[in-house]
Amino acid sequence: MNRRRLLQIAGGSLAAGAIGTLAKKSDVPAPVDQVSGATAQTYSNATRGLPALKITNVKTILTCPQGGNYVVVKVETSEPGLYGVGSATLTTRGAAVATSITEFLAPFALGRDPANIEDMWQTAYVSSYWRNGPVLNGGLCGLDEALWDIKAKRANMPLYQLLGGKSRFAIPTYCHADGNTMEAVSASVSKFLEAGWKHVRVQLGGYGSPSLSTDPDFKAAGFGLPTDGFQNNQPYVKATLKLVEHIRKVNGDDVELIHDMHERIEPIEAVNLVKALQQYRMFFVEDPLSPEQMGYFKMIREQCSTPLAMGELFSHPIEWTGLISDRLIDFIRVGFNHVGGITPGLKIARLAESFGVRSAWHGPGNIDPINHAAQGHVDLTMPNFGIQEDVDLGWGPVIQEVFPGCPQMKKGYMYLNEAPGLGVDIDEKLAAKYPFQPFPAGTGFRFPIRKADGTQIRP
Ligand code: MG
Centre of ligand 1 to C-alpha 312, Å, is: 6
Question: What percent of the chain is modeled with pLDDT above 90?
Answer: 78
- Region 149-163 average pLDDT: 97
Centre of ligand 1 to C-alpha 155, Å, is: 36
Question: What percent of the chain is modeled with pLDDT above 70?
Answer: 89
pLDDT computed for residue 59 by the predictor: 98
Centre of ligand 1 to C-alpha 219, Å, is: 27
Ordered by where they begin, the domains of the chain are 3-47 (no CATH), 55-157 (3.30.390.10), 162-419 (3.20.20.120)
Centre of ligand 1 to C-alpha 388, Å, is: 13
262 belongs to the catalytic site: yes
pLDDT computed for residue 37 by the predictor: 55
Distance (Å, whole) CA 56 – CA 104: 15
Q: Give the pLDDT band of residue 276 (cuts 50, 70, 90).
A: very high
Nearest one of 375, 369, 320 to 345, comparing CA atoms: 375
413 belongs to the catalytic site: no
Beta strand 308-310 with 284-286: parallel, antiparallel or unpaired? Answer: parallel
- Region 19-25 average pLDDT: 35
Does residue 261 surpass a pLDDT of 70? yes
Query: Residues 207, 280, 316, 415: which is the catalytic one?
Result: 207
* Structure-model confidence comparison of residues 22 and 232, the more confident one: 232
Average pLDDT across the chain, whole number? 90
Quick: pLDDT tens for 133-151: 999 999 999 999 999 999 9
- List, in order, residues 6 or more apart from 230 with CB less than 8 Å away: 210, 213, 216, 218, 219, 449, 450, 451, 452
Burial group, residue 437, by CB count within 10 angstroms (0-12, 13-18, 19+) = middle
pLDDT computed for residue 8 by the predictor: 44
pLDDT computed for residue 31 by the predictor: 45
Centre of ligand 1 to C-alpha 443, Å, is: 16
Query: Contact 337/309 with Cβ under 8 angstroms?
Result: no
pLDDT computed for residue 428 by the predictor: 98
Quick: pLDDT tens for 381-403: 999 999 999 988 788 999 999 99
Distance (Å, whole) CA 189 – CA 255: 9
Q: Give the pLDDT band of residue 48 (cuts 50, 70, 90).
A: low
Centre of ligand 1 to C-alpha 265, Å, is: 13
- Region 117-135 average pLDDT: 97
* Structure-model confidence comparison of residues 103 and 441, the more confident one: 103
Cα→Cα distances 136→207, 291, 358, 459, Å? 27, 19, 26, 21
Query: Residues 199, 262, 362, 377: which is the catalytic one?
Result: 262
Does residue 131 surpass a pLDDT of 90? yes
> Which residue pairs from 67-70 have beta carbons closer than 8 angstroms and sit at least 24 positions apart in sequence?
67/365, 67/442, 67/444, 68/365, 68/366, 68/368, 68/442, 68/443, 68/444, 69/94, 69/436, 69/437, 69/442, 69/443, 70/94, 70/368
Centre of ligand 1 to C-alpha 308, Å, is: 11
Q: Give the pLDDT band of residue 14 (cuts 50, 70, 90).
A: very low
State pTM to two decimals: 0.89
Centre of ligand 1 to C-alpha 249, Å, is: 25
Q: Give the pLDDT band of residue 443 (cuts 50, 70, 90).
A: confident
Centre of ligand 1 to C-alpha 259, Å, is: 9
- Region 211-216 average pLDDT: 79
Least confident of 189-203, 211-225, 355-369: 211-225
Centre of ligand 1 to C-alpha 262, Å, is: 5
pLDDT computed for residue 44 by the predictor: 56
Residue 272, CA atoms < 13 Å, CB-side half-sphere: 12
Least confident of 16-30, 224-238, 249-263: 16-30
* Structure-model confidence comparison of residues 325 and 6, the more confident one: 325
Centre of ligand 1 to C-alpha 175, Å, is: 13
Does residue 370 surpass a pLDDT of 90? yes
Query: Contact 377/158 with Cβ under 8 angstroms?
Result: yes
pLDDT computed for residue 126 by the predictor: 97
Q: Give the pLDDT band of residue 36 (cuts 50, 70, 90).
A: low
Centre of ligand 1 to C-alpha 227, Å, is: 22
- Region 303-310 average pLDDT: 98
Q: Check residue 111 and report its DSSP letter.
A: T
